[in-house]
Amino acid sequence: MKKNPKLNTTIEDIRIWKKNSSKFAALTAYDAAFSRMFWKEGIEVMLIGDSLGMTVQGKSSTVSVTTKEIAYHTKMVRRGAPMAWLISDLPFMSFFNLDQACRNASVLIRAGANMVKLEGGSWLCPTVERLSERSVSVCGHVGLTPQSINIIGSHRVQGMDSSSYRRILSDAKSLESSGIQILVLECIPNELTYEISQSLSIPTIGIGAGPSTDGQILVMHDIFGIDTGLSVRPRFVRNFLSESGGDFRKAISLFKESVRSGDFPRSDHCFRIGSGKVRDFKGNF
């Protein structure tokens, strides 16, 4: 993927991957040892996600994670992968007004992030505009937004009925107009992912959103089949570690190559509107 491995990965590289239809794999990362291994195996985009509340801290949701904690993990990930494109999550309630969003984004950028990610729809447009005009690169996140767990009730596929389908599509378009440079699509049906990816000119990264995105991201614990005790294991994940005979490096490389070749996600890893009913992560109605 990289012509010169000594160069930093930039937003321009990611745009070129999209333009060339070259699918890319991304992973969540929380520390230096794993980010170093991910980079060495060719993972150039990493997310310091607020999923760390569940995967690292063992909590039942992401809502208690703070900007300070994301900054702490961003510093570690940056040490392990000095040249990767790092996206750091602005956690729950850390962007409830414009000034607070700017202040917390600057904490994450100073910690080593290239880009900050915010969960939510078109209500975020003024925030995205403000951050972008102040030179902060912003990633959107629509579909299943785990920071809204206390409103939505469970980690459930979104956009299956026509009104939420239309809302998510319109959110994606408004966020792009406001200045986001990448959009994460989480747990939405294939049909919606396809329509969003066709309508937008920015790169999209999917998780449980089918094969039509430019990139795919998974939570690192899920590609290794690590049971974090509390979090649910979504049915769209694949245990690349067991497929690689327990070799971590091979598992990362297999994940990357499977995304690149279109072997992951397969159609049985996707949600489809045709299934008629709304399923949760485990595939239950």
Give residue 37's Cα distance to chain centre. 19
Specify whether the CB–CB gap between 259 and 44 falls below 8 A.
Answer: no
User: Whole-angstrom Cα distance, residue 136 to residue 138?
Assistant: 6
Q: Which residue is nearest to ligand KIV (CB)?
A: 49
Q: Per this entry, what is the length of the chain? A: 285
Closer CB to ligand KIV, 45 or 184, in the complex: 184
Q: Are 172 and 193 in contact, with CB atoms under 8 Å apart?
A: no
Whether 89 has a binding-site annotation, put simply, is yes
Q: Considering 186, 191, 195, 257, which one is annotated as catalytic?
A: 186
Q: Which of 51, 61, 158, 178 binds ligand KIV (CB under 6 A)?
A: 51
- Sign of dihedral through CA atoms 233, 239, 241, 246? positive
Cα-Cα-Cα-Cα torsion 205, 209, 211, 215, nearest 10 degrees, comes to 10
Nearest to 240 by CA among 224, 217, 229, 226: 224
Residue closer to ligand KIV (CB basis): 250 or 280 = 280
Contacts of 83 (CB under 8 A, 6+ apart): 6, 7, 8, 9, 39
219 binds ligand KIV (CB under 6 A): yes
Interaction between residue 214 and ligand KIV (CB under 6 A): no
Query: Does 28 contact ligand KIV by CB under 6 A?
Result: yes
Count of residues in contact with ligand KIV, rule CB under 6 A: 11
Stretch that binds ligand KIV, among 10-18, 42-50, 166-174, 223-231 (CB under 6 A): 42-50
Instruction: Output the smallest distance, CB 5 to ligand KIV, in A.
Output: 26
Find out whether 208 and 283 touch, Cβ atoms under 8 Å: no
Q: Is 247 annotated as a binding residue?
A: no
117 labeled part of a ligand binding site: yes
Residue 186 bears catalytic tag: yes
Using rule CB under 6 A, residue 207 touches ligand KIV: yes
Is 191 a binding residue for ligand KIV by CB under 6 A? The answer is no
Type of residue at 109: I
Q: How far is the CB of 48 from ligand KIV (least distance, A)?
A: 8
**CA distances (Å), 77 to each of 82, 197, 256, 282, in order?**
8, 29, 19, 30
Q: Residue positions in the annotated binding site? A: 50-51, 89, 117, 119
Task: List residues binding ligand KIV (CB under 6 A).
Answer: 28, 47, 49-51, 89, 184, 186, 207, 217, 219
Question: Residues with catalytic annotation?
Answer: 186
Q: Residue positions in the annotated binding site for 3-methyl-2-oxobutanoate? A: 50-51, 89, 117
